[in-house]
Structure 1
Amino acid sequence: MHNPPTISVERIGSVGVVTFNRPGRLNAYTPDMGDELVGAFRALSADTAVGAIVVTGSGRAFCAGADRDFLNGQLSRTGKQIGEEHFIAGFAEELFSLHKPTIAAVNGPAVGIGVTMLLPFDFRIAGMRARFGFPFAGLGLMPGMGSTYLLPAIVGPAQAKQILLLGKTINAQDALDIGLVHEVVDDSALFDHALALGVRLAEHDRSVLAGCKRALNHQSVAALREAVQREREETRRLAENRPRTTDRVDGRPCS
């Protein structure tokens, strides 16, 4: 049976738009979604008509974390378990280093992988109903996608420790106060606001924007790469030391 795409991709003028398209599951992440995201980002990056990229969710959520069915062992269309697909296993650096500006329009809950995937973006804009959940410690999982570097780089080491070690959920205003997001806008205006920012960015000299991103990110790329490796090592350590049970998620990163 044909499985529908988990995301939609379109171009609105000079802006590429990626929308998570599993509203009935609150856009819960699957390995297939990860594969589709990698393909979408690479295609939009190569499209000369696209000057900026906006990502958002359909329905009530941005991305409510990893889909429980896949955490419990369901395989992707290509036979991958969650965490084996390139989006989680190795795409963070590429997403962080895309030469086009990236904008996340967070229209609702962003939990687990739904929040760690936001951290490599250039701009994070939240609607009023956005929530940012970091449940990893309570689930016995390591956060991934380089978040152990990116989160303290964004909000500071002390805030990052509180967020990750206490498994905090943060509302939109608090996310703005600590710098996790750049703006908070009314939910009804969120997408148009993000799109307008994308249009504004796309009007600038794209080679200059790409050069600025390379220069600004230069020192961070190596640190991000090291963080991804450390997260994978800690994930393996967790898996090796955890008693084998049939009712607990294993140590693969669900980011």
Structure 2
Amino acid sequence: MSKPLAMSAVEWQARCELAALYRLIAYYRMTDLIDTHITLRVPGPAQHFLINRYGVAFERMRASDLILIDLQGNVVGGNCNGGKVNAAGFVIHSAIHEARPDLHCIIHTHTASGMAVAAQRDGLLPLTQHALKFYGNLAYHTYEGIALSLEERARLVADLGSHKAMILRNHGLLAAGAGVAAAFHEIYFLERACQAQIQAMSAGVALNIPSEAVCQHTAAQFGRDGIDGIIDLAWQAALSLIDEQRTDWCS
């Protein structure tokens, strides 16, 4: 389907971008049946964001499958297919969208490697270049059970602080960015860092950890000016892998 007449072009574009991101998360095998969630704030004065219609496989997500809600969890119109929202998804994402206006897109995953690192007392170790992207730039949130309580939102936000990525202990990963490209870049690197850590530890040999100076230097390199150009190039390259699906996801 094309953009509904009653919907703004801005919202429809956001829907198409988010549907593509859902499909890329599936392409890179970061899904967990119908659970986990990705949200995207719709540009404009109202604090509204898009989230998946609960029950749709990420591989088949379409722009019309996304639900527009406000920070209180109310459906606010322009939703093409109706449906319900994952309650835990609302709790986690609404907290961050309200507190961090700089983070327009938020991704939460339950991958095997992400959960494995989340279960380790020391969390993400500085073992690889991918992991060093997050050196000194990674938050942790203590597990409180399934995120259904609105009271947990304040603690989530406090733990995230000024960071863009967080390990939810005994749970999974969370990454965010100013847009879909930046958020995808964050979760991709965090997931790969977790995969590498689990594989390195499974070898049963001594691990080599770079010096503190090298860790800090590498983290600063990842934060250098111009990284946004690389992020956008990576996003476009990833999109090309599912380009034949474009007419379907933007429907």
TM-score, normalisation: structure 2: 0.28
TM-score, normalisation: structure 1: 0.28
